[in-house]
Chains A and B, each alone.
Chain A
Amino acid sequence: MTDPFSLELEASHLSLRDIGPWLATVFDASGIGESSSRVSIELAIHELAANSVDHAQPADGRLRLCAAVTGDQLVVGLTDRGKPFDPERKTTPDENRPQVRGYGMMIIEQIATSLDYSRLDEENIWSAHFVVDSS
C-alpha cells in the first residue's frame, strides 16, 4: 500500500506537477481537507523542488518528499542526491530593481515559517515548516 505522506519523483519539471495532487492527498489523509493555505504551500514546495531539479541536478535523477502533520503544523521534507546547496550563492532580489531570476527562495521563505537545510551522506536535506489554515 502506498504511503500517502511520501512521494518519490523523477527530477524533471514535468514531475513537479505531481506535487499539488500529492499535497491534496496529504491534506485529506490528515483530516485537514480543503485549506486556503494549500496552494501557497504547493507553490513553496514546487519552488524548493524546482531548485533541486535546476541546481542540485541529482545524480540518480530522483527527488524524495515526505510530510508530517501535527495540529495546524505541516512539515515537508525534501531530499536529493545532487550537488550541495551553497548558501553563499543564494541571491536576495533588490525590491527596487526588478530582476529576472532569484525569486524562488524568497517565495519559499515568505510562505514557510522556517526552512532548514543540511547535507548528510551525499544528500541535500531540506525541511520546510508551514502553518495550515483550517478554512
Chain B
Amino acid sequence: MDIVTGSLEIPVMTVVLRGRLDALEAGSVREVLDAALADGQSNLVVDLRDVGFVDSAGLAALVKAMKDARLVGGDVKLVAPRSEEAMRIFELTRFDQVFTMADEIETIVEGW
C-alpha cells in the first residue's frame, strides 16, 4: 500500500476596505469583486476591520459577490468590522449569520 501525503493550497484573494462602505462606494467595491470572480478567484476574503460605516448598498455589494461565488463553489468571507456601528447592519439584517465572519483574517484563511 502506498500512502502519499500532500497539501492543497486553496487560493484565497483578500480585499481590504477602509472608510465608508456606502452607496457612493458600493459600485467600486462591486466592480473589484466582480472582476475577481470573473478572473476565477472564487474564494474571497473581504477585510472590513477598518470600515466604520456600512449601508444597505454596501451590504448589497458583498451579498451579490457572496451569492455569485457560492454558485461556482467558492465563497466570500468577511473579517468583521472593528466598529460596532458598522457591524450593526449585519446584525439588523441577520447577515452576520449568513456570512462566515471572524475578527482575524488568519482565522478565516485557516478555516477554508
Contacts and interface: CB of A to CB of B under 8 A. Distances in A.
Verify that A and B bind, or say they do not. Answer: yes
Interface of A: 13-14, 16-17, 20, 39-40, 42-43, 46-47, 50, 53-54, 93, 95, 98-101, 103-104, 106-107, 110-111
Contact of A50 (B23, B94, B95): B23
Interface string B91-112: 0111100100000000000000
Interface string B48-68: 000001011101100110110
Contacts of A111: 92
Contacts of A50: 23, 55-57
B67 A98 contact: yes
B12 interface: no
A43 B89 CA distance: 8
11 contacts: A13-B24, A13-B57, A17-B20, A46-B22, A46-B55, A50-B23, A50-B55, A95-B94, A103-B93, A104-B56, A107-B56
Contacts of B57: 13, 50
A31 to B, nearest CB: 22
A17 B24 contact: yes
Contacts of B22: 13, 16-17, 46
Interface of chain A: mostly helix, strand, loop or mixed: helix
A39 B85 contact: yes
A13 B85 CA distance: 20
A46 B56 CA distance: 10
A39 B92 CA distance: 13
Given A50-B56, A103-B56, A110 B92 contact: yes
B93 A16 contact: no
B53 to A, nearest CB: 8
B55 A99 contact: no
B20 to A, nearest CB: 7
A95 B92 CA distance: 11
Given A46-B55, A54-B23, A98-B63, 5 more contacts: A42-B53, A50-B55, A98-B67, A99-B63, A107-B56
A93 B88 contact: no
A39 B88 contact: yes
Nearest to A104: B56
Nearest to A12: B24
B55 to A, nearest CB: 6
